[in-house]
Copies of this chain bind each other. A is one copy, B any other.
Amino acid sequence: MAAPPHRDTRGLRPRKEPQQSRSRDLVAAIEEAATRIVRDEGVDALTVESVCRVAGVSPGSFYQYFPHQEAVLYQLLRRHAEAVTTTMAAVLTDHATSPVPVLVHHAVHAFLDVHRADPRLHAALGHVVAARAGPGLEDDLLATSTAVLGQLLAARSDELGDRPPEVVAFLLVRGLEGVVHAATRDAPALLEDPAFAAGLERMLVAVVAGEDARPGG
């Protein structure tokens, strides 16, 4: 009776760093295959088998470099996260002292640019990010972004009136993310529509800088 194995909990990173060019190719092939599958068929179609088939690789090889099935998805998420985070961080740095509308303008366009590159992939990944957000994922991209942005806003809290910076940050991050991912998936044409970008800017600028307007019931 073969002993039933126990699930590996060692981590999400590749088991081994590929050392020879052959293995680098193999890992690359796997990641590319995973990317294609996620983009073309959705996350639910991302199985070890499908990845291996598309990558032309055996399951054994897969598990040489990925500790478990999820790891390949996390790899894609990490790439996505890095791309977005890097880009957005650069915008925030470059415009640290710009007026809010200018900052938002650039942030919106940068975010749209990132997603224009491969809309379907980003739509799928964005959804995964949203689905797995909350406590638990290795790096909770959205929570982290919100927290970081909250800090920045707190430093400029004179511009916020009496709005709590973390609430403002939540609205900005989730509003931007929600709308852009929705567009990416359901109406990619909007990503190219200046009216869409303009509307988004207006929407987000209002969160930070808009007049307080609370009409009665």
Q: A193 is contacted by which of B5, B167, B207 (Cβ under 8 Å)?
A: B167
The answer to whether A214 has its CB under 8 Å from any CB of chain B is yes
The answer to whether A41 has its CB under 8 Å from any CB of chain B is yes
A201 pairs with B174, CB closer than 8 A: no
The answer to whether A46 has its CB under 8 Å from any CB of chain B is yes
Within the complex, what minimum Cβ distance (angstroms) separates A137 from chain B? 11
Q: Mark A123-151, 1 if CB is under 8 A from B, else 0.
A: 10001001101100001001100000000
Q: Mark A74-109, 1 if CB is under 8 A from B, else 0.
A: 000000000000000000000000010110011000
Q: How far is the CA of A210 from the CA of B201 in the complex (A)?
A: 10
Q: Could you tell me the dominant secondary structure of chain A's interface residues?
A: helix
Q: Mark A201-217, 1 if CB is under 8 A from B, else 0.
A: 11111110011111101
Residue from A2, A47, A198 having most chain B Cβ neighbours under 10 A: A2
The answer to whether A187 has its CB under 8 Å from any CB of chain B is yes
Q: Which residues of B are found within 8 Å of A198, using beta-carbon distances?
A: 163, 212, 214
Q: Which residues of B are found within 8 Å of A12, using beta-carbon distances?
A: none
A43 pairs with B1, CB closer than 8 A: yes
Given contacts A130-B131, A164-B195, A167-B190, 20 further A-B contacts (CB under 8 A): A1-B44, A1-B70, A2-B47, A5-B41, A101-B215, A105-B214, A123-B134, A130-B130, A167-B195, A170-B182, A171-B196, A177-B178, A177-B182, A198-B214, A199-B207, A202-B206, A202-B210, A205-B206, A206-B207, A210-B210
In the A-B complex, the 9 residue pairs with the closest CB atoms = A178-B178, A206-B206, A174-B182, A3-B44, A202-B210, A1-B46, A102-B215, A203-B207, A174-B179
